[in-house]
A and B are shown apart, each in its own frame.
Chain A
Amino acid sequence: MQPDFKIVLIGGSAGSLSRVLRLLPHLTKKLNITVVLIFHRKEDEDSVLHDVLADKSGFAVKEVEDKDPIQRHHIYIAPADYHLLLEKDLTFSLDMSEKINFSRPSIDVTFESAADAFGKSVAGLLLSGANADGVTGLQLIQRRGGKIIVQDPRSAEVPYMPQQAIDKLTIDLMLTEFNTEEFLALITQ
Chain B
Amino acid sequence: MSADLHLTDEQIEVILSDLIEHYGYDFTNYSAASLKRRIQRLLTLDKVVSFAEFRHRIQHDAEYFKRFVEQITVNVTEMFRDAHFYRTLREEVIPELATRPLIRIWHAGCSTGEEVYSMAILLQEANLLQKSLLYATDINPAVLEKVRLGMFPMSQMKQYSENYIHSGGRHDFSKYYIAQYDTAKFDESFKSRIILATHNLVSDNSFNEFQLILCRNVMIYFDKALQDRALELFDNSLEKLGFLALGSKETLKFSSVSARYKQLENKEKIWRKMS
The listed residue with most A CB atoms (<10 A of its CB), out of B32, B33, B219, B254, is: B33
Task: Please give me the residue from chain B that is nearest to A63 by CB atom.
Answer: B249
A residues less than 8 Å from B38 (CB atoms): 97
Q: Is B33 in contact with A82, judged by CB distance below 8 angstroms?
A: no
Q: Which residues in chain B, 66-98, are within 8 Å of chain A measured between CB atoms?
A: 74, 76
Q: Is A116 in contact with B36, judged by CB distance below 8 angstroms?
A: yes
With A and B bound together, what is the CA distance between A87 and B220 in angstroms?
12
Interface size class of B (residues with CB under 8 A): 20 to 34
B1 beta carbon closer than 8 Å to chain A: yes
A residues less than 8 Å from B37 (CB atoms): 85, 95, 97, 109, 112-113
Q: Is A66 in contact with B36, judged by CB distance below 8 angstroms?
A: no
The one of B1, B31, B251, B254 in contact with A93, judged by C-beta atoms closer than 8 angstroms, is B31
Min CB–CB distance B155 → chain A (angstroms): 15
Q: Mark A91-118, 1 if CB is under 8 A from B, else 0.
A: 1011111100000000001001100110
Min CB–CB distance B251 → chain A (angstroms): 6
Q: Is B219 in contact with A96, judged by CB distance below 8 angstroms?
A: no
Q: Mark A116-153, 1 if CB is under 8 A from B, else 0.
A: 11000000000000000000100000000000000000
A37 beta carbon closer than 8 Å to chain B: no
Q: Is A98 in contact with B33, judged by CB distance below 8 angstroms?
A: no
With A and B bound together, what is the CA distance between A85 and B247 in angstroms?
17
Task: Please give me the residue from chain A that is nearest to B41 by CB atom.
Answer: A97
With A and B bound together, what is the CA distance between A64 and B220 in angstroms?
12
Size of the A side of the interface (Cβ < 8 Å), in residues, is 25
Q: Which residues in chain B, 206-239, are within 8 Å of chain A measured between CB atoms?
A: 217, 219-221, 223-224, 227
Q: Which residues in chain B, 1-57, are within 8 Å of chain A measured between CB atoms?
A: 1, 31-34, 36-38
Q: Is B74 in contact with A136, judged by CB distance below 8 angstroms?
A: no
Q: Is B32 in contact with A87, judged by CB distance below 8 angstroms?
A: yes
B residues less than 8 Å from A117 (CB atoms): 33
A86 beta carbon closer than 8 Å to chain B: yes
Q: A66-B251, A113-B37 are in contact. List 5 more A-B contacts (CB 8 A).
A: A66-B250, A89-B223, A96-B217, A116-B33, A117-B33
Query: Which 5 residue pairs of A and B lie closest in terms of their CB atoms, listed nearest first?
Result: A85-B33, A93-B31, A97-B74, A95-B34, A113-B33
Q: List 27 A-B contacts (CB under 8 A).
A: A64-B249, A65-B250, A65-B251, A66-B247, A66-B250, A79-B248, A79-B249, A82-B220, A85-B33, A85-B37, A87-B31, A87-B33, A93-B31, A93-B220, A93-B221, A94-B249, A95-B31, A95-B74, A95-B221, A96-B76, A96-B217, A97-B38, A97-B74, A97-B76, A98-B76, A113-B37, A116-B36
